[in-house]
């Protein structure tokens, strides 16, 4: 079932590694989401912008658009690379600062709740297929939504995103969390009128708890992080905006100018959706790598085992215990893993110690404060240029790093309380990043 015993023992030893996907570039399964479905998600988010601006004062400035900046990362690049070896140009994609939800989960989560609100309102004749979505904030729409419940199981950030959006529209919102989820996240949700239910055990048990409750309840929508197409499409819609930002920054993407993207991976929805959207736009010229904790490499384990049957990190003897709570997932999404089987270029793993070191370096060089999960992609460029597997990849695809664009996707942190950030920084042992 597992492609190599060497890989298995390396994973078990919890040594950070880069795994290259042997099936990258192969055709997608026949039932894969279509480009039209991504466009539909983009259109939905666009037509809901006036509604979003009305619901959230912090979105006035962007006229309701929930997007993040693409910022040059020269200072981080100089701190982490040898100036004698040209490595192309680094950027950070700042989903850590996505408004309202403070993490990448805003993309998928808001999209799913908006799609639900639209479908209920259309069914009841309150709005038509594409008309003014500010009607979804009208008293009659709110009265309608108040009869519906939205539930989700989450390690934290998805709960924040779904809970805040659902409550803002007037839905009853219930978030199932594992007991070890961060206290401040639970408190923030309760302050917004969201019911928080705590579960013993890990993320998968919180999800199972949410699913069971939703099945037993009338007019209850369960946001299924392990298999939701609406979440996936919301993430995929990020691609077109990034393409526009790259063009504005004068970065071409083609065979001579490859685009490398490094994204932290939990259950796989966020990095998978983004990879899917970017591949639809850039084809073979985009190379997406995922980053997973050494204790929770669920997507790596699933892809290396083939997608015929579910395989979890527990199955290979790992414990799924990591400070990167957004990535502490034992079993990858059953929707996303078969899609990533031919799209993700590779996956590297990262230790908690390295995450803390990277948090410190990013703060020192970029003045950006991230949460541990959010920084996992930072080691990506070094894996490509400095590891044997990375150099194999560049050689096999005939890629020139000196003309490359590297996008490190940072995924959460702007809502983390200052005292938590101080704790993260205190955990960072020394400046400078080690890997491998």
Ligand X SMILES: *Cc1c(COP(=O)(O)O)cnc(C)c1O
Catalog residues that contact ligand X under the rule CB under 6 A: 103-105, 157, 264-271, 326-327, 371, 373-374, 411-412
Name the nearest CA neighbour of 184 among 372, 420, 373, 427: 420
Q: Would you say 311 or 401 has its CB closer to ligand X?
A: 311
Which position has the token pair 């004068």?
Answer: 250
d(CA 344, CA 377): 14
Q: Would you say 209 or 264 has its CB closer to ligand X?
A: 264
According to DSSP, the residues that pair with 146 across neighbouring strands are: none
d(CA 224, CA 201): 18
d(CA 246, CA 82): 24
**Residue-wise over 291-304: b if at least 16 C-beta within 10 A, else e?**
bbbbbbbbbbbbbb
CB of 348 to ligand X, least distance (A): 14
CB of 349 to ligand X, least distance (A): 14
Q: Would you say 264 or 379 has its CB closer to ligand X?
A: 264
Q: Would you say 121 or 207 has its CB closer to ligand X?
A: 207
Residues 424, 318, 293, 183, CA torsion sign: negative
Cα–Cα distances in angstroms (integers) from residue 48 to residues 52, 66, 167, in the given order: 6, 10, 16
Instruction: Write out the two tokens for 304.
Output: 């290396």
Question: How many of the other CB atoms lie within 10 Å of CB of 6?
Answer: 8
For residues 263 and 290, is the Cβ–Cβ distance under 8 A? Answer: yes
CB of 401 to ligand X, least distance (A): 25
Q: Would you say 16 or 266 has its CB closer to ligand X?
A: 266
Q: Would you say 142 or 192 has its CB closer to ligand X?
A: 192
Residues 238, 239, 245, 246, CA torsion sign: positive
Residue sitting closest to ligand X (CB): 266
CB of 390 to ligand X, least distance (A): 22
**Cβ-Cβ contacts under 8 Å for 379 (sequence gap 6 or more):** 16, 262, 291, 348, 350, 354, 358, 433, 435
CB of 99 to ligand X, least distance (A): 15
Q: Would you say 118 or 224 has its CB closer to ligand X?
A: 224
CB of 235 to ligand X, least distance (A): 7
For residues 391 and 385, is the Cβ–Cβ distance under 8 A? Answer: yes
Q: Would you say 267 or 313 has its CB closer to ligand X?
A: 267
Name the nearest CA neighbour of 8 among 389, 345, 332, 316: 316
Name the nearest CA neighbour of 137 among 219, 55, 56, 59: 55
Q: Would you say 224 or 371 has its CB closer to ligand X?
A: 371
CB of 403 to ligand X, least distance (A): 29
The phi and psi torsions of 124 (rounded to 5 degrees) equal -90, 5
Instruction: Write out the two tokens for 298.
Output: 């669920």
Burial of 348 (0-12, 13-18, 19+ CB in 10 A): buried
The phi and psi torsions of 417 (rounded to 5 degrees) equal -60, 150
CB of 125 to ligand X, least distance (A): 35
Q: Would you say 99 or 326 has its CB closer to ligand X?
A: 326
CB of 374 to ligand X, least distance (A): 4
CB of 418 to ligand X, least distance (A): 18
CB of 232 to ligand X, least distance (A): 9
Q: Would you say 170 or 379 has its CB closer to ligand X?
A: 379
């Amino acid at each position: 079932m597992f492609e190599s015993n060497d890989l298995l023992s390396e994973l078990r030893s919890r040594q950070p590694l880069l795994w290259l996907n042997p099936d990258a570039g192969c055709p997608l399964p026949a039932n894969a989401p279509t480009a039209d479905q991504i466009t539909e998600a983009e259109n939905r988010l666009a037509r809901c912008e006036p509604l979003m601006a009305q619901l959230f004062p912090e979105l006035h400035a962007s006229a309701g658009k929930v997007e993040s900046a693409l910022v040059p990362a020269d200072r981080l690049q100089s701190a982490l690379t040898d100036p004698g070896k040209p490595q192309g140009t680094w950027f950070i994609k700042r989903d850590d600062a996505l408004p309202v939800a403070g993490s990448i989960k805003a993309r998928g989560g808001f999209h799913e709740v908006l799609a639900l609100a639209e479908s209920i309102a259309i069914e009841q004749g309150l709005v038509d297929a594409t008309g003014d979505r500010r009607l979804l904030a009208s008293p009659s729409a709110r009265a309608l939504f108040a009869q519906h419940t939205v539930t989700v199981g989450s390690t934290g950030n998805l709960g924040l995103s779904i809970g805040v959006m659902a409550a803002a529209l007037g839905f009853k919102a219930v978030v199932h969390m594992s007991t070890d989820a961060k206290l401040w996240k639970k408190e923030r949700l309760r302050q917004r009128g969201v019911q928080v239910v705590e579960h013993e055990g890990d993320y998968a048990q919180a999800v199972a708890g949410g699913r069971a409750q939703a099945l037993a309840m009338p007019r209850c929508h369960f946001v299924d992080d392990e298999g939701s197409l609406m979440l996936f499409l919301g993430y995929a819609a990020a691609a077109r905006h990034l393409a526009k930002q790259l063009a504005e920054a004068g970065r071409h993407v083609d065979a001579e100018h490859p685009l490398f993207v490094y994204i932290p991976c939990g259950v796989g929805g966020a990095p998978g959706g983004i990879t899917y959207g970017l591949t639809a736009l850039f084809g073979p010229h985009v190379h997406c790598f995922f980053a997973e904790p050494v204790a929770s490499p669920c997507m790596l384990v699933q892809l290396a085992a083939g997608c015929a049957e579910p395989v979890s990190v527990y199955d290979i003897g790992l414990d799924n215990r990591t400070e990167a709570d957004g990535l502490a997932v034992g079993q990858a999404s059953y929707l996303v893993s078969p899609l990533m089987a031919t799209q993700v270029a590779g996956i590297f793993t990262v230790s908690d110690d390295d995450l803390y070191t990277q948090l410190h370096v990013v703060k020192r060089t970029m003045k950006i404060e991230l949460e541990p999960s959010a920084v996992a992609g930072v080691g990506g460029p070094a894996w490509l240029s400095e590891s044997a597997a990375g150099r194999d990849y560049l050689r096999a695809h005939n890629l020139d790093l000196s003309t490359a664009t590297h996008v490190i996707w940072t995924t959460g942190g702007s809502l983390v309380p200052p005292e938590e950030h101080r704790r993260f920084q205190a955990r960072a042992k020394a400046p400078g990043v080690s890997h491998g």
